[in-house]
Structure 1
Amino acid sequence: MSLAFLADRLAQLQAANLKRTPDQMPPAGLDCASNDYLGYAREALESWGAGASRSIFGTHPTHLALEQALASWVGLEGALLFSSGYAANVGVLQALALPGELILSDALNHASVIDGCRLSRAEVCVLPHLDLEALEQALSTTPGRRAWFVTESYFSMDGDGPDLKALAAVIQRHPHAAWIVDEAHALGVYGVSGAGRCAASGVRPDVLVGTLGKALGSSGAFVAGEGVLRDWLWNKARSFVFSTATSPAQAHATRALLERCQRDDEARGALKRAATWLHAELWEAGLPFPRGYLTGPIFPIVCGSSEAALSAASKLASHGFVARAIRPPTVPPGTARLRITLRPSISMEALSQLASLLIDAWRQSQCVPEGWVRL
């Protein structure tokens, strides 16, 4: 679905003298607008200090440079920075999905998506995880009603993800539907230059959400899409309008990290080799994986009870491996687990030892969640 209708909404704001537009920072004249109460942002780091929301005190050139670089990275027209991935998802859903419209949300979406759905005041329908047939049916029964489907491209607790080409085909069959894809855990890992699973699959969602605190090692987030989407979020995403801007210093550092990530095929290759080897070892040993599992840095080792997961994490720690026990309500009851994330720097010796420990941890319970498969 084209987001061109947002231009009409923006025109209404303009007619009412309510449309906000970016200003460059720092403005000329005495500052009587920012929240820089003690003047720190005007001292030695004057060019790099943050003083207020961007809608009040203006936008620094470093913000724009980073946003342009991020949009180009993921192959979309424009991007807007947010303070966190949580703020981005909440802001997008609250700003886009209006009363009377419909949000279709994957059952395992992140808490930020769930909260954004609640704040939107649109009707919300939760669909079974990765079930494109359910999506097709839901869209077919609501012809003409604007619908927003939201999913993650790489789910952080299960390590699986949707068939994005098939998903795009479903959306394209329904002109009243738009799709929002959270690429938080896929950016930097998948695709040419780490541009994510959407780019790797050759699809362009209406809205792409990305975070800067995962593979990029920085902080904050961004939302990318058509230029009109950026303008609308600037005006209507409350988590953007009412938050202090990312500091120009942080934006500058993030751009440098982005450039490093784009050219770091060596690290991506090493990570892929390690993940492929570990997945093969665990699969041969009989460990279960979700049906849509994607070979990547995330490995869910389901232990069943919270006690068992805590015990497994403690045993790994005693052997020098830091892993966290993930328990309800983050994951469904009875599926407490170790969430293992790999790094490209892991040695073969360490990887082999880790595999043995994970196999032992799973064999204590031999838990196989519903819908998961094993050899």
Structure 2
Amino acid sequence: MPSTVDDLVRIPSLSPDGPGALRHLQDELSELERAGLLRTPAVASAPAGMLVLCSNDYLGYADLPWSPGGDAASGAGASRLVSGTHEAHLMAERELASWLGTESALLFSSGYAANVGTLAALARPGDVIVSDALNHASIIDGCRLSRAAVEVVRHCDLPSVEEALVRAAGARRRWVVTESLFSMDGDTPDLRALRALCDRHDAALIVDEAHALGVCGPRGAGLCAATGVRPDVFVGTLGKSLGLHGAFVAGSSTLRTYLWNRARSFVFSTGISPMLALATVDRVRRAAADDAGRARLAMVTAQLRSGLRSLGARLLPASSGPILPWILESPAAAVEMSQRLAREGILVQAIRPPTVPAGTSRLRITSSASLSEADVERALAGFREAVR
């Protein structure tokens, strides 16, 4: 297994040969390599001593030990609809709903599964989904699978949303879907205004709070809670601030029952581990009480943002929270800067199209409450060396 910085940043050469029926795949990979867009497997974890500034572990929970106690099973054994529902799942769902002030919640195996399954189950042919241009791939795929008409609107542009809703007046149903804290740009929509537009045009509001949950709002309950907005569908993950794995959808008990029956990514998947569900109860309680962690995260983020700007980093001006996108000229420039930082002992991956729009390749730098003052100083020193 690779274990050095050089191993981490090395891009293996492509073999000129490939299996006959799949030889075209090699041609496509070669095209990606020529465009500077080839992605290759990284090491399983960062080499010892490397400072990681690209994870979503915003509160620093991912490395926390946890002992389940009791007799929680390691596996659910089946789909939740068959025999895979354990008391631990119900406990976790009640805890999540209580945290967010909703009637109920439903656990999914991943954020991708939650968005794809929910959107494909709720929207149908004859409906119109109004989707922000920078929504996550899981939202995009859920929209496509729903077979509803999709209106992709300009990023965080309220007039575009309203125009789309006006055009959709004759649709069977209307849906507006957005992230609350965008995963790549780190900016936020006007959730109050979106709620008002949805109410005016009889549309349902779906909000993915993956990157805001645990970080923003009272008791870390997200940006909807911070702005006093109640979405019709709340999507959240366990794999970011909570430091676990999996996801959930929260809302009314009717929504939960409907998704239980119709969300294919839930119905046809084995339930998440009951031990993971018990860990979710623990992490939700920890995050809800962790105002000190959120304050620490805000301070570290401010220090990194200030230091990067002093170095001339082209940070997106609207970014906020722990996501600091540094825009570079090209995919090659982003990869080169990532490699320079790796040689300084700092892991920040280059983000390139199609994950982000063409012309916006970047380093997606993230902060964490677990970073010490020495870590921040080391990080900024490493960035300083890398930009020379």
Residue 261 (structure 2) pairs with residue 235 (structure 1): yes
The 1:171–1:360 alpha-carbon spacing in structure 2 relative to 1, beyond 3 Å, is farther
Residue 177 (structure 2) pairs with residue 154 (structure 1): no
Equivalent residues of 1:162, 1:292 under 8 A apart: no
2:120: which partner in 1?
Answer: 94
Equivalent residues of 1:82, 1:88 under 8 A apart: yes
- Cα offset for 1:284? 5.2
2:79: which partner in 1?
Answer: 53
Q: 1:46 & 1:116 partners in 2: Cα distance?
A: 33
Aligned equivalent of 1:123, options 131, 149, 161 = 149
Letter of the structure 2 residue corresponding to residue 174 of structure 1? H
Aligned equivalent of 1:306, options 331, 348, 367 = 331
2:376: which partner in 1?
Answer: 351
Moved more, 348-357 or 166-175: 348-357
Q: 2:84 & 2:139 partners in 1: Cα distance?
A: 28
Q: 2:72 & 2:240 partners in 1: Cα distance?
A: 29
Equivalent residues of 2:76, 2:85 under 8 A apart: no
Q: 1:168 & 1:282 partners in 2: Cα distance?
A: 35
Q: 1:349 & 1:249 partners in 2: Cα distance?
A: 35
Aligned equivalent of 2:271, options 245, 263, 277 = 245
Q: Deviations over 1:32-70 (max 9, x none)?
A: xxxxxxxxxxxx967554111011115211111110111
Equivalent residues of 1:148, 1:178 under 8 A apart: yes
- Cα offset for 1:281? 3.5
Aligned equivalent of 1:188, options 211, 214, 225 = 214
The 1:169–1:359 alpha-carbon spacing in structure 2 relative to 1, beyond 3 Å, is farther
- Cα offset for 1:288? 3.7
1:68: which partner in 2?
Answer: 94
1:280: which partner in 2?
Answer: 306
The 1:48–1:96 alpha-carbon spacing in structure 2 relative to 1, beyond 3 Å, is same
- Cα offset for 1:239? 0.3
Q: 1:214 & 1:90 partners in 2: Cα distance?
A: 18
Aligned equivalent of 2:281, options 255, 258, 272 = 255
The number of residues matched between the two structures is: 318
1:110: which partner in 2?
Answer: 136
- Cα offset for 1:354? 2.8
Q: Deviations over 1:296-321 (max 9, x none)?
A: 11111111212211111112122221
- Cα offset for 1:268? 1.1
Q: Secondary structure at the match of 1:125?
A: strand
Equivalent residues of 1:75, 1:199 under 8 A apart: no
Equivalent residues of 1:139, 1:147 under 8 A apart: yes
Equivalent residues of 1:181, 1:209 under 8 A apart: yes
Q: 1:244 & 1:343 partners in 2: Cα distance?
A: 32
Which sections of structure 1, spanning at least 5 residues, go unmatched? Answer: 1-43, 365-375
Q: 2:200 & 2:91 partners in 1: Cα distance?
A: 36
Q: Deviations over 1:178-236 (max 9, x none)?
A: 11100111111111221111111111000010000111011110001111000100000
Q: Deviations over 1:93-138 (max 9, x none)?
A: 1100011000111111111111111110111111111111100111
2:237: which partner in 1?
Answer: 211
Equivalent residues of 1:287, 1:359 under 8 A apart: no
Q: Secondary structure at the match of 1:304?
A: coil
Q: Secondary structure at the match of 1:90?
A: helix
Equivalent residues of 2:184, 2:325 under 8 A apart: yes
1:334: which partner in 2?
Answer: 359
Q: 1:271 & 1:125 partners in 2: Cα distance?
A: 36
- Cα offset for 1:153? 0.6
Equivalent residues of 1:80, 1:222 under 8 A apart: yes
2:322: which partner in 1?
Answer: 297
Q: 1:238 & 1:124 partners in 2: Cα distance?
A: 20
2:55: which partner in 1?
Answer: none
- Cα offset for 1:352? 3.7
The 1:46–1:80 alpha-carbon spacing in structure 2 relative to 1, beyond 3 Å, is closer
Letter of the structure 2 residue corresponding to residue 156 of structure 1? S
The 1:320–1:167 alpha-carbon spacing in structure 2 relative to 1, beyond 3 Å, is same
**Normalising by structure 1, what TM-score?**
0.80
The 1:74–1:96 alpha-carbon spacing in structure 2 relative to 1, beyond 3 Å, is same
Q: 2:195 & 2:88 partners in 1: Cα distance?
A: 33
**Normalising by structure 2, what TM-score?**
0.77
Equivalent residues of 1:94, 1:117 under 8 A apart: yes
Q: 2:319 & 2:72 partners in 1: Cα distance?
A: 48
Aligned identity (percent) is: 56
- Cα offset for 1:73? 1.1
Letter of the structure 1 residue corresponding to residue 293 of structure 2? A
Which sections of structure 2, spanning at least 5 residues, go unmatched? Answer: 1-69
Q: CA RMSD in A?
A: 2.0
- Cα offset for 1:276? 1.8
